[in-house]
Amino acid sequence: MGKIFDWKTNIKEKELNEVISVLNEGGLVVFPTETVYGIGANALDENASKKIYEAKGRPSDNPLIVHVSDKKMIYDLTENISLVEQKLIDAFMPGPFTLILKKKSKIPSSVSAGLNTVGIRMPSNKIAHTIIEKLGKPIAAPSANVSGRPSGTNIEDIKYELLDRVSIMIDGGDTDIGLESTVVKVEDDIPVILRPGKISKEDIEKVVKEARVDKNVFEEPKENAVVESPGMKHKHYAPKTRCILVNYEDKKKQLEEINKMIENKNACVIGFKEHKPFINTNKFINIGKIDNLNEISKNIFSSLRKADNMNCDLIVIEGTKKEGIGLAIMNRLIRACNYDVKE
């Protein structure tokens, strides 16, 4: 059984040394980032990285993201960085941004799922940054959850899932953003968003002239597809309960449809604060105000977990506009609902 360290108010030096010792010895540590919690291991230790897949029950063809503390680490781990890639690094790192780059051989194949590329991210969260800097090595870390389940945005949601699978869990409070990082690969000098996040297409186009969103963001990829980013292929973000996403432009119609769907059913609804009085259920989870996308993004995964704990037969979720971080919100909700969408 692992330990839980409370670093919500400050990083404790003695405990930090223990975290570093665990990572150096090939162990696993759960830690907060500004996006979601990660389950991390020394990215240069092949056996340690394999333990992440075992702890999560993660398919071996789903690559891990490598977290660094500074640009020097990026250059030590990757090669042939283009001018466009360098502009993206300078603009968005540190932050909720992952860039797919050509990897050097020091990155084990277990981390990159056998690919010649690797996702690199420089978290801005103080706890994550301090651990990587003190370790002096990159940390491979996917989201902290059992594979396929909603990502962890606070320790309470994931401790019973992971405490017996890792050495240490660090409680840094609720994460700031609540959705995983934007993942980008540059193709023919054009940044392509493989997984949307807080850093939007519009943000990227302020740095380079053109960016596009990969078609697989809202389409179900083929089972034999090779993917370079987490969150693109396998079942992700999903509660155990069946979910349906409802997203009509006409919100009055949306409310009518939801009430029809839940009538005489053991169902719960994840919806907007303003809509609660109009939805005929006492099993309502407030995901945030309809126009506050940052609030919604922060609440998605904890709301999915709350709904799962209500022992309903059906979860109905209200969708939002696909703008800015709304693109990422809808990507996660569509995947959580296994592409069962009414719009």
- On the question of pLDDT at 228 being above 80, the answer is no
Report the mean per-residue pLDDT for the chain: 93
What is residue 317's predicted lDDT score, i.e. its pLDDT? Answer: 97
C-alpha span between 154 and 49 (Å, rounded): 23
- Note the pLDDT tens digit of each residue in 293-318: 999 999 999 999 999 999 999 999 99
Q: Chain-centre distance of CA 112, in angstroms?
A: 17
Locate 130 and state its tokens.
């301090």
Flag whether pLDDT at 224 surpasses 70.
no
Rounded CA-CA distance 263/200 in Å is 37
According to the model, what pLDDT value does residue 218 have? 84
- Residue spans of the domains in the chain: they are 3-217, 243-342
Q: What is the pLDDT of residue 58?
A: 85
- 98-112 pLDDT tens trace: 999 999 999 999 999
Indicate whether 216 pLDDT > 60.
yes
* Res 60: pLDDT: 77
For residues 271 and 284, give the distance between their C-alpha atoms in angstroms, rounded to a whole number. 7
CA atoms within 13 A on the CB side of 1: 3
pLDDT at position 61: 80
| pLDDT band per the 50, 70, 90 thresholds, residue 217 | confident
- Cβ atoms within 10 Å of 265's Cβ, excluding its own: 12
| pLDDT of amino acid 271 | 97
Rounded Cα distance, 157 and 220, in Å: 27
Average pLDDT over residues 198-202: 96
* pTM for the model: 0.93
Is the fold of 3-217 the same as that of 243-342? no
**pLDDT for 186 beyond 70:** yes
Residue 120 clears pLDDT 70, i.e. is over it:
yes
- pLDDT value at residue 236: 66
Is the pLDDT assigned to residue 235 strictly greater than 60?
no
User: 287, 303 in Cβ contact below 8 A?
Assistant: yes
CATH 2.60.40.2550 for domain 3-217: no
Once rounded to an integer, what is the mean pLDDT over residues 112-118? Answer: 93
- The 8 Å CB, 24+ separation contacts for 9-13 are 11/126, 11/127, 11/130
**What is the percentage of the chain residues whose pLDDT exceeds 90?**
87
Burial of 35 (C-beta count, 10 Å sphere; 0-12/13-18/19+) = buried
Distance CA 111, CA 115 (A): 9
- Its sign, for the CA torsion 302, 248, 316, 276, is positive
- Per-residue pLDDT, averaged over 208-226, amounts to 80
So what's the pLDDT on residue 304? Answer: 95
- Tell whether omega for the bond before 94 is within 30 degrees of 0, i.e. cis: yes
Please classify residue 239 by burial: count the beta carbons closer than 10 Å to its beta carbon, then call 0-12 exposed, 13-18 middle and 19+ buried. Answer: buried
Q: What is the pLDDT of residue 90?
A: 98
Please tell me the CATH code under which domain 243-342 is placed. 3.40.50.11030
Instruction: State the DSSP H helix or E strand holding residue 171, giving kind and residue range, or none if neither.
Output: strand 168-171
So what's the pLDDT on residue 138? 98
The C-alpha atoms of residue 118 and residue 146 are separated, in whole angstroms, by: 22
How confident is residue 225, by pLDDT bands cut at 50, 70 and 90? Answer: low
* Residue carrying structure tokens 């990502």: 151
